[in-house]
Every structure is written in C-alpha cells, then in structure tokens.
Structure 1
C-alpha cells in the first residue's frame, strides 16, 4: 500500500525533496491513513510534515474528542499540529449557503492561512478513489461537460495535493486495521440528508450489486482517460485566452475574433476562464451563463446581460466586455495619489511615507542602491503620469526577469507577505501599469537598459 502511494506521488510529480507538507487531518480513516503513509515515506521523500485539524463546531463533545485524538497522533509522531475552530452554522447562515459549502470554503481558507503563516509548500488532503467515483456520479446527475467528468485532480492550484487518490476505501480501512490506527468515525457520514452520502450509501452500492462490481475502478479509469483529452483542450484554450482576451482597467475584454475563428469547444472554455479571471471564482457559473454570453455576441453591439457573481457582460462592436457591478454600499475607497511626470519635484505624502522623486541624466552617472525603498526607472518609458496607490482586485504586473504577467495576489503568496499587510503596501504605477511593489518587486517594463537616457529615482521614507 505504501509503495502504491509512493509510486502515485512520483508519477504525478506531487512532492519535491525538502518540501514542507501540511496534512489536512480530520481524524477519520482517510486522513489518518494519509498522515501515516506520508510519515512512513518521510525519510525516503525527504519531507517535513505538519497537520491541521478543523473543528466545525457541529458535533459537540464528539468534535472535541476528534481534537484530542488528532493532537495525540501528532504528538506521538513528533509533528506540529494546528487546531482551528470555526462556527460553520454561523458562516452558512450569514452567507445563505449550505453547511457542506460553508464547511468546504472555511476549511480551505484555514488551510491556506496556516500554510502561509508557517511556510508550508503543499497541503495534502485525503480524497480517495471512492470520493472520485462519487464526485463523477454527482456531476453526471447535475449535468456536466468533459471537465466535470475528469473529476478530482491529483494536483490542483494553490498547492493542494491528493496522495491517496489511488486507494479505494477498502484498502484504506484495511491499512488502518493492519497498523492499529483506530481512526475516529464521523456519524454524520452515515446520514442520508447530504447528497454525497446518498450516492455513497445507496446509489454506488446498488450499481455495484446490479451492474458492475468494479464500478469504483471503472469510473476512476474513465476519469484518467478523459483527463488526457481534457488536458489537451485546456492547453489550446489557454493559448486562445491569451490571444483573444485582455484585462485592463477593471474590465476583461474578449475580442470578437474568438467567436469568429474558434470552435465552440474552445469558445466555451475561454469564456469560463475569462469569467473566473474577473470574478476570482467560477462558483455559480454554469453552462447556461456561457451560452448566454455566446447569445449576447450574436445579438450585436449595445446589448448587455447580468451574469452571476455581480458580473455584467456587454457587447461593444462585437467584443464582449466583462466588468463588475458597482455596489455603492460596498465600494472600498481606494487610496490614490496621482502626479503628472513633468511635475515631480515636490515631495509627496502617502499614508505613512514621504516620497521623493528625482529625474537624473544617465550620462552624469547613476548609483544603484540596495535599499528596498529606493528604486531607479527609465523615465522616458512613462507616458503621462505617476500614480501611487494600494492594490485593487485583479491587479497584475510583469516582475523583473520573468516573462509575462503575474497576479499581485500570487506574487504576495510566493513572497509570503502576510495577508493583513497586502492592502496597505504602496504601489508605484506609471499610467495604468504597476512598476513597483514598494519594498518587494519592480517591473520588467521600466528597467534601466543601455538605451536609457533619463532615470527616475524614487525613494520612500517613513514619516517621523
């Protein structure tokens, strides 16, 4: 069993040597098996482990016993254990969502917070082959495309990995018994009030008994085969997204050429990717919305529709423009100072800083500084104005030495900038492009080169 998981990890390039892995540990058979196997492979894979346990505050004393159980396991194994308590009933009620959805969202938020705070590289969750089969069946019943039939991915964005996706539930239970692990049993998994439990307890056993005794393996094989096709189409749609879509000034523009030149399979995926990009989520975004956008294109310029997640789509001379609805009550006041490039001799105050700017003739000599609050830029590459502000949703930049753009959010995560600091870090923008995340990164677009004539020196000093 351990060898099977090791091979699965290696085949999927899931873990690198010296990485810190945070294991999501509920205390149930799946997560206990996952932790125990990773611990057994700890030396071989050269990794460090920690565990996080979420108490959803739904099961009273039982949940407290779960806490004690996972704490004891981690103490015996000598690994760090982080326990978080979240009132899921309250979260679900406040956000008008189901307990299942609230639990999932809050779990992953907590995982990410601990990962960032303590410098973990990956988060290992204990989805298995049975979970995969259940997910595929549920998506089929709701209606899904090729992407949905691929099911749960072994690796997904945000550093989430699933090392025991190759094991079925019988294998996991056998492993726990053979190793005397005695995991906790969550009785709510046996209640038929949840859709997934009905699939697990009723539909899959019926299919197994009456149609295909190997239904779990069959559905997992199907997902693997379809994933290869899906991977290829995804690669093509990503290229088309980069060719036909442009994010600028809080708007995402889909050029009409997409609808003219590309097949529907590509068009639908590009629309979905564009929606996710501007709304930071594709939750509640269904095939119906995708075809609403295609219909909007066919109706001609000047038309608009309201999509989910407060996104508006407009047809402007054949281009489709996505933008966010402005909610006056919730609009966050952006802190912003703007100055024309010809008027930069005066000191500028911004938050807790005094900002000084100076234009220097390169021929007179320039001196680069190691001070992270002093940077030099090519003055002549600035078109009109210099803007000092804080971050906005969807901000991107071209970091020095890297091809293409990166989201500020991803840059902050990679640099391990604390979440609470991200909204107060000053940004220097030249016109609409971010040139400097002050104290962290500068842009490739405005670097000093052999062809530079005039240099703009910007320095930040803290107010006394």
Structure 2
C-alpha cells in the first residue's frame, strides 16, 4: 500500500469503527504518549478528517518511570497547543513497579478522562505490528483460540483502535512525508521486557531465518481466530438459550442436556454462563466444573474463585454468587393474645417470611389463607408452648405414619432443592419436638373435635431483604 492511500484508508476504518463519525461529530479522547504511533494517530484525526466530523481531546499520563518523562509531557502539551487540540494530562503519584502496573494506571486515567468529559470513545494507536507481537506472545503462553484473536479493534467498554490495519513502516512513512516529529522512548529498545524481546529480537529472527512473512501470518491468524470465535459464539448462544434459565441472579443449567454435548462445546457454554458472574476459569478449571455439573450427585456444591458457587439440585446445576446472608431471626410463639391473632416476621437463609398465627373454633372461624402460603392446623390443647419457628438443623427428625424420619430425607423425597431446605420454616414445641415443616408436613394427630380450638399458622415468603 502506498503512503498516499493511508489517509483515505484511515477514514474508511474510522467510519467502520465509529459509524456516523463523518456526520455527528463524536467526542473522542486520544491517548497520546508523544511517540510515533500516537502522534500519527492524532495528526490523522486532526488534519485528515473532514472539519467538524470529530471533536478531539488528547490525554497524556506521565508515569515517572524514566528520566525525561516530564520533558515528554511538556512536548505533548506544546504539540496539542500547536495543533489546537485540547489536552488532559496528569502525573502518576508513584512510579509503577512494572509494565503491567503502568498499563493499569494508564488505562484508569484514560477511562476517568473519558468519563469526566462524557466522551464517546477512547482511541489508542495500536497497529498491525502490535497485533502480531500480541498473538505471538499469547501463542508462547499457550492461549486458547479466543486468545489468538489478539487485540480487538473495538471493545464493549468503548476503546477504539483505528490503526490496527496499518503497519509501523506505513506510519513511519506517513510521518516523514508530513514532516512530523515525535518523542523516542529509549526503553522500547532494551531487551528487559518480554514484549521488547519479541519485538526487537524474536520476530526479526523468525522472519530472517524461518518465515519471512511471520508478522503478516500472525495477523492473518488473528483474523481467522476472530471469524471462528464469531461463529462459535452464535452456536453457543443458541445452546445457552435451550439449556440455561436465569432467575433473580441465579443460572439454572439443565445437567442432562449439557452432558449430551461434546465436552469442548459444553465447556464453551459453561464459560459463557460463568462469565456473567465475573468468573472465567482456565482450561483445567472449566473441565473440573463441567465434570462436577454433569456427574456429581444432587446436593453437592463447589466454590470457584471470585465468590461463585455451583450446586447440583436434581436435574439442574444452580450457579450463583456466594453472598453472606444476614443472621437468621426465628420466631417464638408463647401463646396468643386475647384477640386470638399474632402477626410478625422471621428471617431464614437471607429471606423474610410473614408469619400469622390465629386461634379459631369450628369451621365458621377458619381464617382465610392465600394460595401461596404454607398453612399448619394444630389443636391448641395438645401444644406445649412456647412454640418456635426456626430453620432446619442437621439431624432433625419428625414423626410420620411410617415412623421417625429425617427432614433431609423427606425434603429430598419431595425434591426440595438443597439451596431451599434451610429456608423452609420448622415448627417445634417447648420440648424440641418437631410438629410441622413448611411444604413437608406435620406430625400425625387424631382428628380434632368439631368444637376444639385450633391454631392456624400461615407463612408467606416475602423474598430477600
């Protein structure tokens, strides 16, 4: 490609990444270090786009990592003044200890600048050579296909990289043709950082001795990986709709259906689900989580880094963030006042329940209960007060027509998920005998007399606090 075609190609790339940039005048923050790449990017935006098509603000952070960085900051300030471009600049409080830390600090500053200015996008000067270096670096570190995509031209967080199709030599030729000056960072020539060794030693050696077109092949590999991942994402999204149900921040995955897919495809589905909880495990972690979901018995759970929990509940796996629930608040019923009614609230497993206790004699006085309430009907004369509503405990048992049975076994038989069992109120009397469990049943009692006073206990789940 000739240097003369670079401005028109750049305008086409900018329009592709920022549709309407030639009409609406979006406000763009441009990261400018003062080096060749960012200087060329700023020049293209300032002088090679139609007047008024974009609004520009340059952003520069002095990392204080080397001598001469204050001079770079002053030079960028002079450049922006000469080109009539607004500038936001800052200085790091402390010099970063590593390139990774410097990058985090730099992007934090740039994002804050975009936010304060209410800008439409952040533009950086990454180019094709950066892409090739990134892909090679990830290959050497054992990345998956997703990592082979390299640097995206646009991110969901508003970072845009319009120079990605252009090579460093093209940018250098453009700068020379337009008599541009820039600041040279001597640390880029050293072999201390891994990225520098790839750029200055490894890639040149590969092109000299093994593959003359290594850089272009690496960029082409990134394109192929992006195309492949785009297709897979469509298929994974369709499968997710069939396999996963989302309710109140919880993902319910159909275990048997997930088991029917090839493990590689099932892993992609699982990673997509976990990504929504801020957790994307590596290859080994994904395989372990997948095997747990498909093979573990019901009622088991594992915890993933980042506070994510997976629990098997019969035919589904429940995926959610682990949250510290407020302490339980049980309810004690020590008789009922002369009005014959008690209304209060209790808390179990992070959920709030409305509790209503009513005394009644005969069918005419039976209180009205809603369909979504758990209701217990107990003869008052046979109760040993105070009664207590609490959560299930390990080892709890209740009398049934078939003898004493554990509450855990009864709840399993009724297919109550393990995550809900702690939230089923248990009623016990003054001696600790369990009389009734919400949604499970009560102790067998002889039929009450028609005129016997009864206690009607109604409980409704009002949800989390």
The TM-score, its normalising length taken from structure 2, stands at: 0.63
Partners of 1:101 and 1:258 in 2: CA distance: 41
CA RMSD after TM alignment: 2.9
* 1:69-113 deviation digits (Å, cap 9, x = unpaired): 1111111121211112234656x6xxxxxx233222232222222
- Indicate the residue corresponding to 2:219 in structure 1: 220
Q: 1:432 & 1:174 partners in 2: Cα distance?
A: 65
Maintained 8 Å contact 1:258/1:267: no
SS at match of 1:314: strand
Select 1:311's aligned residue among 308, 312, 321. Answer: 308
Partner residue in 2 for 1:27: 34
How big is the shift at 1:248? 4.4
Q: Tell me what 2:62 maps to.
A: 55
Q: Highest Rg: 1 or 2? A: 2
Specify the alignment match of 2:11 in structure 1.
6
Contact 1:88 1:103 in 2 (8 A): no
Alignment of 1:19-418 (within 5 A): 19-43=26-50, 46-59=53-66, 61-87=67-93, 89=95, 99-256=98-255, 259-279=258-278, 282=280, 285-301=281-297, 302-325=299-322
Pair 276,175 (structure 1): closer, same or farther in 2 beyond 3 Å: same
Q: Indicate conservation of the 8 Å contact 2:133/2:198, yes or no.
A: yes
SS in 1 for 2:276: helix
Deviation track 1:384-407 (CA, whole Å, cap 9, x = no partner) reads 9xxxxxxxxxxxxxxxxxxxxxxx
| Residues 325 and 128 of structure 1: CA distance in aligned 2, closer, same or farther (over 3 Å) | same
Report how many aligned residue pairs link the two structures: 324
Following the alignment from structure 2 to structure 1, what is the Cα–Cα distance between the partners of residues 242 and 152? Answer: 27
2:80–2:87 CA contact under 8 A, matched in 1: yes
Deviation at 1:212, TM superposition (A): 2.2
Cα distance between partner residues in 1 of 2:52 and 2:230: 28
Partners of 1:236 and 1:266 within 8 A in 2: no
User: What SS does the aligned partner of 2:305 have?
Assistant: coil
Please give the alpha-carbon distance, in whole angstroms, between the structure 1 residues aligned to 2:30 and 2:217.
Answer: 28
- Give the unaligned 5+ runs of structure 2: 1-5, 327-371, 374-461
Structure 1 residues 323 and 212: CA distance shift in structure 2, 3 A: same
Q: Which has the higher helix share?
A: 1
Report the alpha carbon displacement of residue 4 of structure 1 after superposing the two structures with TM. Answer: 2.2
Question: Distance in 1 between the 2:117 and 2:186 partners?
Answer: 32
- Contact 1:130/1:169 (<8 A) preserved: yes
Q: Contact conserved, 2:311 with 2:318, CA < 8 A, in 1? A: yes
Larger CA deviation: 38-47 vs 114-123: 38-47
- Contact conserved, 1:9 with 1:15, CA < 8 A, in 2? no
1:74 touches 1:80 (CA, 8 Å); kept in 2? yes
Shift of 1:148: 1.3
Distance 1:316 1:101 in 2: 42
